[in-house]
Amino acid sequence: MPIVSKVYCSPYEVVLAVRRRPNVVNGGGFAVADCSQRVVFRVDGCGILGKKQELVLRDGDGNSLLLIRQKGSVIEALSFLKRWKGFTYDFLGSEKLAFTLKEPNSCFSNKNPIRISLESNNSSNFEIRGDFSVRSCSIVNSTGHVVAQIGVKEVEQVMSGRDLYHVKIMPGIDQVFVFGVIAVLDYIYDGSTRC
């Protein structure tokens, strides 16, 4: 299911490793590597960009794939939800809305799930089940199927589970979309993308 591009949809299950970059190293964010330890994606947070509530997901060569911003307004400040918007770039370099992530306002309740909707298809909705703060959660589609699973491998328990974890992505799922969602979760839970 391409959301950003079919180039990032594998016909096979993919397992990628995520390693945090502390804010003192290259401004924070995280890097995503494949099994050969080649960097596939990189997420830059406000330590590099200099802007709070803005993230950029790049490919291994440093090309921007997704710009993610938290949208705010007076009405939204009074709302129960905070919204993050993920934008792709069209062939002319213009931003195009790809997805919206609705974060429950923690002042009222943190029991409500985080929901994601796609701009291109209003019937395709996703939600986060589990607890990202301990790197144990899943991205689930509207039919209840897991499309991506975030976890800590037992062998890597020696290192902090917040610094190194893995993401298993099901066949046909857009990897850029998955890591765009993970970038927002990292920011929400005071990860390396936040200043």
- Tell me, yes or no, whether 167 lies in a domain: yes
List the one residue out of 22, 28, 58, 56 whose CA is nearest residue 42: 58
CA distance 97 to 110: 26
pTM of the full predicted structure? 0.85
What's the mean pLDDT in 165-170?
95
What's the mean pLDDT in 119-131?
80
List the one residue out of 15, 13, 34 whose CA is nearest residue 167: 15
> Residue 74: what pLDDT?
47
**Lowest-pLDDT choice from 122-126, 165-169, 170-174:** 122-126
> Residue 164: what pLDDT?
86
- Tell me, yes or no, whether 39 lies in a domain: yes
Q: Is the pLDDT of residue 82 over 90?
A: no
- Tell me, yes or no, whether 195 lies in a domain: no
> Residue 89: what pLDDT?
78
What are the C-alpha distances in Å from 91 to residues 25, 26, 121, 178? 32, 29, 21, 22
Task: Find the domain containing 134 and state its range.
Answer: 6-188
> Residue 50: what pLDDT?
57
> Residue 158: what pLDDT?
44
CATH of residue 80: 2.40.160.200
- Tell me, yes or no, whether 193 lies in a domain: no
What's the mean pLDDT in 126-133?
92
Q: Is the dihedral of CA 47, 49, 18, 87 positive or negative?
A: positive
Q: Give the list of residues 6+ apart from residue 45 with CB closer than 8 angstroms, or none.
A: 27, 28, 29, 55, 183, 186, 187, 192, 193, 194, 195
- Tell me, yes or no, whether 98 lies in a domain: yes
> Residue 166: what pLDDT?
93
Give the number of domains in the chain.
1
pLDDT-derived band at 157, boundaries 50, 70, 90: very low
CA distance 187 to 145: 25
- Tell me, yes or no, whether 163 lies in a domain: yes
> Residue 155: what pLDDT?
46
The beta-strand segments (E) located in the chain are 14-20, 30-33, 39-44, 54-59, 64-71, 81-89, 95-104, 115-118, 125-131, 136-141, 146-151, 164-169
- Tell me, yes or no, whether 55 lies in a domain: yes
pLDDT-derived band at 182, boundaries 50, 70, 90: very high
Q: Is the pLDDT of residue 107 over 80?
A: no
SS3 47: helix
